[in-house]
Structure 1
Amino acid sequence: MAKNTSLHFRVVEGKDLPAKDVSGTSDPYCIIKVDNEVVARTATVWKNLNPFWGEEFTLHLPTGFHHLSFYVLDEDTIGHDDVIGKITLSKEAISSHPRGIDSWINLNHINPDEEVQGEISLELQVVEEAHKGALCCHVIEARDLAPRDISGTSDPFVRVLWNGQVLETAIIKKTRFPHWNELLEFVLEEGTSGETPLVVEVWDWDMVGKNDFLGRVVFSLDAFQKAPLKGWYRLLPFPKEEEDAGGKLGALRLRVRLAEERILPSRYYQPLVDLLVESVVCPPEEENVTPVALLEEVCSVESRQDVATRLVKIFLGQGLVVPFLDYLNLREISRTTDPNTLFRSNSLASKSMEQFMKVVGMPYLHEVLKSIINRIFEEKKYVELDPCKIEPSRTRRISFKGSLSEAQIRESSLEVLKGYLRDIMEAIVGSTKECPAAMRVAFKRLHKRVADRFPEAENQDAKYLAISGFLFLRFFAPAILTPKLFNLRDQHAGTQTSRTLLLLAKAVQSIGNLGLQVGHGKEQWMEPLHPFILSSIGRVKEFLDRLIEVDCEDEANRKQSWTLVHPSATIKEGYLHKHKADGLHLVSRFTFKKRYFWLNNKSFSYSKSPEWQARTSIPVQQICAVERVDENAFQQPHIMQITTRDNGSQLLTMYIQCKNVNELNQWLSAIRKVTVSNERMLPFCHPGAFRGSRWTCCLQTNRTARGCSRTHSAVTLGDWSDPLDPDVEAQMVYRQLLLGRDKLREKHQEFVKRGPTQEQGSGAQKGSDANSQRTAMAARLLEVIQALEQAHDAFEHQEEEEEEEEKAQISITPPP
């Protein structure tokens, strides 16, 4: 049994941000931290006080996080970025909303005294000797302290306060991982109250100005008077409530949800999985009788996308994803009377197809669109067709003779757009063989279901529209509109490029709609593109016909291992900067060499360029840690270390620099995922480098000294390439059913009250049978929910008993 914690957060948009630039605007972006560690950075939205980001992240992490923080900054090309404000959500606050937080939250000022982090190792005890008592505070070490100096480190010392007395440790220079190992003693006088608190404070010493606060821990004397306390204690800020800025710094719209689950052994989820599979393998004639249908009815609209993702992954693992989608699509098609409204709602069928394409088809999307999207970003051409938005001053780059006329701008823009569209459509219609087999088979079944449901001559295009509605309108067009959200680019487009992408996305949508809405919308200024759109419809139909010419249903549906990526397939690749093995004595910026890296499930390899024949390859099984490195180690940001163990069990470390924090987190996450089953992973690491005969992080002089920081091998970012974990997915489905149990009970009672009908005839008998089936299915689903709830309670009770036994064992163990 394991515990699984997933933190889902979406930075939607901001409003009323203060202007930080002389132009009267700002260039805002967000930094997201979990317990003061940067886990994500949004793109910068230039010259905007009401920015839209729409960036979504899922973070898988250990259960021990404390808070999630969002910092809004204004990017400056010269000097340091300006801090606008922050929002901090505690774990308890997030947990108090089972369905998640979705609201506008005001930004607050940043108080340096509240920006504390890290832990301190202490041993506290009261010693009685010769009618004299002493309170002993053994200050051992601290880790992960906040950096307060420009070097990215601090000069920490500890101040202990008790009963009006103050004692201090020595100052350890330039480290966030200090080792003191000092014993501070206070004389205990008779009559001293046990309620007098012992306060341990950590400070950063400054030669000029006042010292900086790094955190504190408060103990009651009664807590360790009978038995000593020893352990690691989290540093906390001064007890001061955060002042609400009252909206003066603006606000963010955030969506945050915490899924903290106890994952039971597989056998406990099997009845639930069997019920779900039964919906697909043995579907009844009555379409709303099955567990999947009941699940859709009881889960909230807001959670439908998450439920769809979980179900897609469960059925992928069962090798039944195509029959599952076929079952949902058939339900949707059978209750649709007008083919023009088919799949237009956010039903479970629509969401499941959408998530299926993202989970299975993301490499395909990148192969089709990435090169053309990159070219659009690089060329930065001014494009506009709307007469109301044309800005002649922007066209000076186009013509050396001055500004162009409105007609010339429209003509130039039309040619540019047609050129981009031509390349996009060529890439799409020529991608038949690259499209994943499972997608092609799912589209083939969808095509047949729609053709059978709407056989009339006037509805001949319905079977094409059903496929293109998903492939073009929900897959290709959104990726063209916002490439950042589909990992096609690291940054959002600027205003000019964003407008180009919007016009292209509109055109691709019109092509995907087979030109049905061409000429009927309000945007008549798109008319110059209509001939190209209409001429593309025939090619799209031919492409869709080729796409469904597939006879590989067995291959598409066969049961897969719990990964969506073939062992030899490249999971991630790109240029990074690798630390030169013998470059420790050189200036830091010269010790990193540009290399091209590849990662798959078997190896992590690199060479001078993608075309270079000679590659250095590291077996994934030899990797025992992958961690970020402090900036002060090389005076450079965004560096990670990969520690491997060779055949002789010797540890070797490679340092790699990424271009930004998002790329760093993506590489960390990808490598951690492929090493998830590795044995002998390191529990500790050095976040610095061994330079000048000592570690830059903790200043230890022994090169083989145990790491001063805990490793974070369980922290990964969720994305389309996440390995399938059937127990985790089933637990999440159970959680949604548990949230909707009251509604399910109401439905069960409703079915029971209906009872068998007394009317005569085959129709009445059929209705009676359907109601009996619904009643029985709702009862079975409630039984499965109850059984899983009881299993969770039993495991929780068992854990509590084990914790009590462990505490009792500690309390009877005599102190050394």
Structure 2
Amino acid sequence: MVKACTGSSDPYCIVKIDDEAIIRTATVWKTLSPFWGEEYEVQLQPGFHSISIYVMDEDALSRDDIIGKVCITRDMLAEHPKGYSGWMSLSEVDPDEEVQGEIHLQVEVLGSQGSRRLRCSVLEARDLARKDRNGASDPFVRLRYNGKTQESTVVKKSCYPRWNETFEFELAEPAGEKLCVEVWDWDLVGRNDFLGKVVFSVQGLEVAGQEEGWFRLWPDKSKPTEDGDETVLPSPCSQPLVQLLCQEVKSGRQDGQVHLVTLLDETTTAECRQEVAINLVKLFLGQGLVKEFLDLLFELELAKPCEPNTLFRSNSLASKSMESFLKVTGMPYLHFVLGPTITRVFEEKKYVELDPGKVEIKDVGCSGLHRVQTEGEVIEQGRQHLQSYLGELLDAIVRSAPACPPLIRAAFRQLFQRVGERFPQHQHAKFVAVTSFLCLRFFSPAVMTPKLFQLRATHADARTSRTLLWSARWCLQRGHG
């Protein structure tokens, strides 16, 4: 993209891991051949899908334009274990397809024949795409039905807005139209940015009467259906599947029976298994059967040939479901346990490095009495700092039992019992199974990247990231027994 007035651009880059923006480079002014020469080190979650690098054109008067992007998938990195270096072609980006997040709605059909209304209550949204320079958006909701449009108020500087507004339309006869709920980012200068949409079948709503819940926002040009819209079907359409899943979970594991959750495990790819797991966890939480669901998964997983020391280390549906369950139900507990120590690490910014090959030697002492620290002194000082953080963290974990949600404690009791029954000769296995989830899949990722778990508002700088990495490794060691 070239500005007509200058014949050049003001490019910079934004780096995203999946949908999370983590890096913004400096802007190189008035050039079509920018050189940045910047280097960053970030920690990747085991389940990440891709790294996207967006090349942007900064504009002082209106919103910045997207010049193009490159996408590096996890499979591409696996093919280059020593790293990738080379030129890649920029692909075009449609801003209307760069969406994320969910919106909480209640939609219902009211009134009797001849005088019916379509009511939509717009409650809140979460994890919306960040479109503005301040790292947030100014979202509002636009509703379209039967040629008419209504809009909500604008919530400034928020990716987690609350509206609590209700809108009504006169229901068309016949009610064949669709209700489209769009989320937009309001801009004072330039056009508004599209943040995603949900489309409801009004005909289906007439059957269901009411739909309420969190709905995923979809791009404007997604084409899973013939008319180009991802339409939310009413709950009666999915009720037979929900009933079948609930019946299976209530019945428990049956010898010789092929279970539906096993088929889901075997027919989903590793990339989409996380999404399947989170949806199943939310489904069974709503049905009050999440303990029974996890217990069935534990039994099915333990029925396979497995070693006691490597239980639940794979990315099976059981592992992903337990991981998702901990995140959905245990975030306040996680903040209670890790919050004080993470805050201390960020505020103190102590230098912690235990790898002799990466130690930075520096001068110490007062004016006129400078001397160079030895490598051993730097490592010992870092070890003491780390020991202090880990001692505080271990004490917090030990004292946290009363704060742990009863539902999580119940799930761990089930896991502890099932593993003990499966490996009666290996009593340590049941402890390893519990700590592998609690430490490897819950505490350790949160320590390594606290922003992704809402423990911090921003990502850590290089020095703090190194301290967090060493702390997370301790959690990993605990998880490995």
TM range (shorter): 0.5 to 0.7
1:319 to 288, 291, 296: 288
Matched, 1:422 2:358: no
CA displacement, residues 446-470 of structure 1 (integer Å, 9 cap, x when unaligned)? 00000111111xx111111100000
1:501 alignment counterpart? 468
Looking at both structures, which has the greater relative contact order when contacts are Cα pairs under 8 Å and sequence separation is at least 6?
1
1:462 alignment counterpart? 429
1:87 to 47, 68, 87: 68
Give the superposition deviation at 1:381: 1.0
2:310 alignment counterpart? 341
2:22 alignment counterpart? 42
Q: Distance in 2 between matches of 1:389 and 1:53?
A: 17
CA displacement, residues 549-596 of structure 1 (integer Å, 9 cap, x when unaligned)? xxxxxxxxxxxxxxxxxxxxxxxxxxxxxxxxxxxxxxxxxxxxxxxx
Q: Distance in 2 between matches of 1:513 and 1:371?
A: 25
2:320 alignment counterpart? 351
Query: Contact conserved, 2:253 with 2:296, CA < 8 A, in 1?
Result: no
Q: Distance in 2 between matches of 1:403 and 1:490?
A: 36
Residue pairs, 1:588-627, within 5 angstroms: none
Tell me how large the CA RMSD over aligned residues is. 4.3
1:406 alignment counterpart? 375
Supply the AA of the counterpart residue of 1:477: S
- State how many pairs are aligned: 318
Structure 2 unmatched runs, 5+? 1-10, 27-36, 47-51, 78-86, 97-130, 133-189, 192-218
Supply the AA of the counterpart residue of 2:448: L
Query: Contact conserved, 1:384 with 1:500, CA < 8 A, in 2?
Result: yes
Q: Distance in 1 between matches of 2:67 and 2:365?
A: 40
CA displacement, residues 323-352 of structure 1 (integer Å, 9 cap, x when unaligned)? 100000111112134201211111000000
Q: Distance in 1 between matches of 2:248 and 2:241?
A: 11
Matched, 1:300 2:269: yes
Residue pairs, 1:115-130, within 5 angstroms: none
2:344 to 370, 375, 385: 375
Give the superposition deviation at 1:48: 3.8
Q: Distance in 1 between matches of 2:327 and 2:257?
A: 27
Q: Measured at CA, do residues 263 and 435 of structure 1 come closer, stay the same or move farther in structure 2, by a change above 3 Å?
A: same
Q: Distance in 2 between matches of 1:45 and 1:362?
A: 31
- Which has the higher mean CA deviation after the structures are superposed, 309-318 or 408-417? 408-417
TM-score w.r.t. structure 2 length?
0.57
Secondary structure of the corresponding residue to residue 87 of structure 1: strand
Residue pairs, 1:423-462, within 5 angstroms: 423-456=392-425, 459-462=426-429
Query: Contact conserved, 1:377 with 1:493, CA < 8 A, in 2?
Result: yes
Give the superposition deviation at 1:417: 0.7
Supply the AA of the counterpart residue of 2:413: K
Residue pairs, 1:748-787, within 5 angstroms: none
CA displacement, residues 18-62 of structure 1 (integer Å, 9 cap, x when unaligned)? xxxxxxxx9964489xxxxxx974345898446647599xxxxxx
2:477 alignment counterpart? 510
Give the superposition deviation at 1:403: 2.5
Query: Contact conserved, 2:361 with 2:374, CA < 8 A, in 1?
Result: yes
TM-score w.r.t. structure 1 length?
0.35
Query: Contact conserved, 1:45 with 1:494, CA < 8 A, in 2?
Result: no
Aligned sequence identity (%): 42
Give the superposition deviation at 1:430: 0.8
Supply the AA of the counterpart residue of 1:431: S
Q: Distance in 2 between matches of 1:388 and 1:74?
A: 39
Q: Measured at CA, do residues 334 and 55 of structure 1 come closer, stay the same or move farther in structure 2, by a change above 3 Å?
A: closer
Q: Measured at CA, do residues 86 and 424 of structure 1 come closer, stay the same or move farther in structure 2, by a change above 3 Å?
A: farther
Query: Contact conserved, 2:432 with 2:480, CA < 8 A, in 1?
Result: yes
1:392 to 361, 367, 386: 361
Structure 1 unmatched runs, 5+? 1-25, 33-38, 57-68, 95-99, 117-145, 148-213, 216-255, 515-816
Query: Contact conserved, 2:41 with 2:462, CA < 8 A, in 1?
Result: no
1:475 alignment counterpart? 442
1:708 alignment counterpart? none
Give the superposition deviation at 1:276: 0.9
1:265 to 220, 231, 234: 234
1:491 alignment counterpart? 458
Secondary structure of the corresponding residue to residue 303 of structure 1: helix
Q: Measured at CA, do residues 341 and 287 of structure 1 come closer, stay the same or move farther in structure 2, by a change above 3 Å?
A: farther
Query: Contact conserved, 2:43 with 2:448, CA < 8 A, in 1?
Result: no
Give the superposition deviation at 1:376: 0.5
Supply the AA of the counterpart residue of 1:356: F
Choose 1 or 2 for highest CA Rg: 1
CA displacement, residues 512-553 of structure 1 (integer Å, 9 cap, x when unaligned)? 323xxxxxxxxxxxxxxxxxxxxxxxxxxxxxxxxxxxxxxx
